[in-house]
Amino acid sequence: MKRNTLLTTVALLAFAVQPLSAHRFWIIPSSSVLSGEHPWVTVDAAISNSLFFPDHASPGLDSLSVLGPDGKSVALQNGMKGQYRTTFDVELSQPGTYKIFSVRDGLFASYTENGETKRWRGDTQSFAEAGLKDKADLKLTRNNSRVETFVTAGEPTNTVLKPSGEGLELVLDGTHPNDLFNGEPVSFVLQFNGKPAADTEITVVKGDDRYRNEVGEMKLKTDSTGKLTITFPEAGRYWLNASAEGEGGEFEGIPTSSRSSYTATFEVLPQ
């Protein structure tokens, strides 16, 4: 990985796990539910203080991806990275649900060398190249950050909603993310490394907080099975965020702790 790309990755990981008062990473499509033949959406992505007003930094185009209803990658078209916002178009050539997302997966290591504590950051591929596996007092933390949104052309499908089992993920529990209406309770399940993320705090904020004296965030918690129930009070666009820490199993035979964050944006329609 090139050094400038690595620095951008580390910086965005830091943004993703900071509290609500800090900068927030989001991805917003021009519309989340579309009809007609071969519709398109324009997508904005940014890291900002206000939702959803780009005013701080823009992610790189190479950090953003799209999966189509068949689970295969879809090209980003007409992409441009500006000072505060990154934008691109997606042609919805197949009916069904698309996932537009950014996933970053990195490692942080600390170890002892010549009596001094050393630190290293990088991705999973460059860890072997760094030659750290046999260092004294080696401790590893895996940082996973996921930011996503969903768009449906025609009837909703579920292929792109299947969890990977890595980091924090939102899993279907009878509610499709493109079938949300104000005043109706909806439920999802939050998983952490493939297991229920029990008693995990969730923050939900309606967009356009720039025009409110109070941010008006909703603080919710998953139950013992990782289930989350939300009733969106108004139609509009919402930002959801959660974070978790715990054991991460092993990496290259080394016990690893895990830190993860999950962020999603939803469009809630009026009844």
Q: Which residue type occupies 203?
A: T
Q: What is the pLDDT of residue 181?
A: 96
What value does the mean pLDDT take over residues 87-116?
94
Flag whether pLDDT at 18 surpasses 80. Answer: no
pLDDT grade for 15, boundaries at 50, 70 and 90 = very low
Rg of the chain on CA atoms, in Å: 19
pLDDT grade for 247, boundaries at 50, 70 and 90 = confident
Flag whether pLDDT at 86 surpasses 90. Answer: yes
Q: Could you say which architecture CATH assigns to the domain 3-105+141-268?
A: Sandwich (2.60)
For the chain, give the longest Cα–Cα distance. Answer: 66
**Paired tokens of 178:** 């493109």
CA 122 to chain CA centroid, Å, is 19
Secondary structure class of 14 (helix, strand, coil): helix
Q: What is the pLDDT of residue 203?
A: 95
What mean pLDDT is reported for the chain? 89
Q: What is the pLDDT of residue 214?
A: 83
pTM score: 0.86
Q: What tens digit of pLDDT does each residue of 103-138 get?
A: 998 899 999 998 899 999 998 788 888 888 889 999
Q: What is the pLDDT of residue 215?
A: 81
Q: What is the pLDDT of residue 129?
A: 84
> Residue ranges of the domains in the chain?
3-105+141-268, 106-140
User: Computed from CA positions of residues 181, 186, 190, 194, in that sequence, does the dihedral angle turn out positive or negative?
Assistant: negative
Residue predicted with more confidence, 151 or 210: 151
pLDDT grade for 254, boundaries at 50, 70 and 90 = confident
Question: Nearest to residue 125, comparing CAs of 232, 266, 251?
Answer: 251
